[in-house]
Amino acid sequence: MQADDHVCLCFRVSQRKLVNWLKREQPAVASRMSECLGAGTGCQWCVPFLRKLHSQWKAGEEPGLTVSPNRFASSRDAYRNRGNHTQT
């Protein structure tokens, strides 16, 4: 996944925005990442990925996801097709 690819597809929040937000805000808990443009508050499929970025950052690593954008999007589509979502 590249920096400008969307992690939160509901609200189009890119990995770059999330990483910059982590560095600027330094949240103690991953749930605060929702304050970054509402990430994770739509269908909630990206929440595990937000937690991963947060844990990488907390460990002193450069946060980043290695999944391909196409696979990421198709996995989210499958999640939504199973009815595992709360909104768009």
The answer as to whether 16 is a domain residue is yes
The answer as to whether 86 is a domain residue is no
User: 56: which residues sit within 8 A by CB, 6+ positions away?
Assistant: 62, 63, 64
The answer as to whether 57 is a domain residue is yes
The answer as to whether 55 is a domain residue is yes
What are the DSSP E strand ranges found in 1-88?
6-8, 13-14
Range of the domain at 76: 6-81
The answer as to whether 77 is a domain residue is yes
What is the reported pTM?
0.88
Domains in the chain: how many in total? 1
The answer as to whether 18 is a domain residue is yes
14-52 residue pLDDT tens: 999 999 999 999 999 999 999 999 999 999 999 999 999
Neighbours of 65 (CB within 10 A): 19
Higher pLDDT, 12 or 86: 12
71-82 residue pLDDT tens: 988 988 888 888
Res 88: pLDDT: 47
